[in-house]
A and B are shown apart, each in its own frame.
Chain A
Amino acid sequence: MRAVSLRGEVEEFLYREADLLDGWRLDEWLALLTPDAIYEVPPNDRPDGHSDDTLFIIADDMDRIRARVKRLQSHEAHAESPRSRTRRMIHNVQAAENGDGSIKASANFVVYRFRRNAATREYVGRYEFRLKREGGGFRIASRRAVLDSEELGALGSVSFIL
Chain B
Amino acid sequence: MVVNGGPYILDQPERQMFRLHRAVLFDPEVARAERERVFARSWLYVGHDSEIAKPGDFRTRHVAGRPVIFVRGEDGKPRCLLNSCRHRGTIVCREREGNAKRFFCFYHGWTYGADGALVNVPGADAYGASFDKSEFGLQPVPRFEAYRDFWFANFDPNAAPLAENLAGAKEYIDLVVDTSPSGKLEIVAGVQEYDIAANWKLLVENSFDDYHLLTTHVTWLDYLKGAGVEMKRPAEAGVLLPARGIGRDLGNGHACVDNVNFRGRPVARWIPIYGEDAKPEMAAIRAELVSRLGEARAARIADTNRNLVVFPNLVINDGSSVTVRTFQPIGPERMKVTAWALGPKEESPSARARRLDSFLTFYGPGGFATPDDVEALESVQQGLAATEIEWSELSRGMNKTGETLNTDEHHLRAFWRRWNALMCAP
Which residues of A does B touch, CB under 8 Å?
Answer: 41-46, 49, 51-60, 64, 67-68, 70-71, 74, 76-80, 117-118, 150-159
Q: Is the CB of B368 within 8 A of A68?
A: yes
Docked pose: A117 CA to B333 CA in angstroms: 14
Q: Which of A67, A79, A152 contacts B375 (CB 8 A)?
A: A79
Q: Which of A46, A55, A64, A77 contacts B356 (CB 8 A)?
A: A55
Kindly specify which of B10-18, B124-132, B191-199 makes contact with the partner chain: B191-199
Give me 10 other A-B pairs in contact (C-beta within 8 A), A51-B356, A117-B382 excluded.
A53-B189, A55-B190, A55-B191, A55-B192, A56-B356, A57-B364, A71-B219, A76-B219, A150-B96, A156-B194
Q: Is the CB of B366 within 8 A of A158?
A: yes
- 7 A-B pairs with the lowest CB-CB distances in the bound complex, closest first: A55-B190, A79-B371, A151-B193, A58-B366, A159-B371, A157-B371, A43-B190
Q: Is the CB of A44 within 8 A of B372?
A: no
Mark each residue of chain B from 10 to 46: 1 if its CB lies under 8 Å from any CB of chain A, else 0: 0000000000000000000000000000000000000
Q: Is B216 an interface residue (CB 8 A)?
A: yes
Given A74-B219, A78-B372, the answer on whether A67 and B352 have CB atoms closer than 8 Å is: no
Q: Is B226 an interface residue (CB 8 A)?
A: yes
Given A49-B189, A79-B371, the answer on whether A58 and B360 have CB atoms closer than 8 Å is: yes
Q: Is the CB of B366 within 8 A of A157?
A: yes
Q: Is B424 an interface residue (CB 8 A)?
A: no
Specify the chain B residue showing the minimal Cβ separation from A66. Answer: B226
Docked pose: A78 CA to B196 CA in angstroms: 15
Q: Which of B188, B193, B215, B376 contacts A44 (CB 8 A)?
A: B193
Docked pose: A51 CA to B340 CA in angstroms: 14
Q: Is the CB of A157 within 8 A of B194?
A: yes
The residues of B that contact A76 with a CB separation of less than 8 Å are: 215, 218-219
Q: Is the CB of B223 within 8 A of A67?
A: yes
Q: Is B370 an interface residue (CB 8 A)?
A: yes
List 17 contacting pairs A-B, 8 Å CB cutoff, sorted by A: A44-B193, A49-B189, A52-B352, A53-B356, A67-B226, A70-B226, A74-B219, A76-B215, A76-B219, A79-B375, A80-B371, A152-B193, A155-B194, A157-B194, A158-B371, A159-B365, A159-B372
Main secondary structure of the interface of B (DSSP, over half): helix
Given A45-B190, A46-B190, the answer on whether A56 and B375 have CB atoms closer than 8 Å is: no
The residues of B that contact A154 with a CB separation of less than 8 Å are: 195
CB distance from B359 to the nearest CB of A (A): 6
CB distance from B200 to the nearest CB of A (A): 15
The residues of A that contact B215 with a CB separation of less than 8 Å are: 76
Specify the chain B residue showing the minimal Cβ separation from A73. Answer: B219
The residues of B that contact A117 with a CB separation of less than 8 Å are: 382
Docked pose: A39 CA to B196 CA in angstroms: 25
Query: For chain B residues 351-387, which have a beta carbon within 8 Å of chain A?
Result: 352-353, 356-357, 359-361, 364-366, 368, 370-372, 374-376, 378, 382
Q: Is the CB of B374 within 8 A of A157?
A: yes
Given A67-B223, A118-B197, the answer on whether A56 and B365 have CB atoms closer than 8 Å is: no
Docked pose: A60 CA to B366 CA in angstroms: 10
Q: Is the CB of B191 within 8 A of A43?
A: yes
Mark each residue of chain B from 126 to 142: 1 if its CB lies under 8 Å from any CB of chain A, else 0: 00000000000000000
Q: Is the CB of A59 within 8 A of B356?
A: yes
Q: Is B349 an interface residue (CB 8 A)?
A: yes
Q: Is B345 an interface residue (CB 8 A)?
A: no
Q: Is the CB of A53 within 8 A of B366?
A: no
The residues of A that contact B193 with a CB separation of less than 8 Å are: 44-45, 151-153
The residues of A that contact B219 with a CB separation of less than 8 Å are: 71, 74, 76-77
Docked pose: A154 CA to B196 CA in angstroms: 8
Docked pose: A80 CA to B371 CA in angstroms: 9
Specify the chain B residue showing the minimal Cβ separation from A58. Answer: B366
Q: Is B341 an interface residue (CB 8 A)?
A: yes
Q: Is the CB of A151 within 8 A of B194?
A: yes
The residues of B that contact A45 with a CB separation of less than 8 Å are: 96-97, 190-191, 193
Q: Is the CB of A153 within 8 A of B188?
A: no
Docked pose: A58 CA to B197 CA in angstroms: 22
CB distance from A154 to the nearest CB of B (A): 5
Q: Which of A60, A68, A77, A155 contacts B372 (CB 8 A)?
A: A77
Q: Is B170 an interface residue (CB 8 A)?
A: no
Q: Which of A74, A78, A152, A155 contacts B376 (CB 8 A)?
A: A78
Given A53-B353, A74-B219, the answer on whether A67 and B368 have CB atoms closer than 8 Å is: yes
Q: Is B279 an interface residue (CB 8 A)?
A: no
Q: Is B143 an interface residue (CB 8 A)?
A: no
Q: Is B86 an interface residue (CB 8 A)?
A: no
Q: Is B418 an interface residue (CB 8 A)?
A: no
Q: Is the CB of B96 within 8 A of A54?
A: no
The residues of B that contact A58 with a CB separation of less than 8 Å are: 360, 366
Q: Is B336 an interface residue (CB 8 A)?
A: yes
CB distance from A16 to the nearest CB of B (A): 24
Specify the chain A residue showing the minimal Cβ separation from B355. Answer: A55
Q: Which of A53, A77, A153 contacts B336 (CB 8 A)?
A: A153
Q: Is the CB of B190 within 8 A of A42?
A: yes
Q: Is the CB of B356 within 8 A of A52?
A: yes
CB distance from A139 to the nearest CB of B (A): 23
Mark each residue of chain B from 312 to 341: 1 if its CB lies under 8 Å from any CB of chain A, else 0: 000000000000000000000000100011
The residues of B that contact A64 with a CB separation of less than 8 Å are: 360-361
The residues of A that contact B352 with a CB separation of less than 8 Å are: 52-53
Q: Is the CB of B365 within 8 A of A57?
A: yes
The residues of A that contact B359 with a CB separation of less than 8 Å are: 55
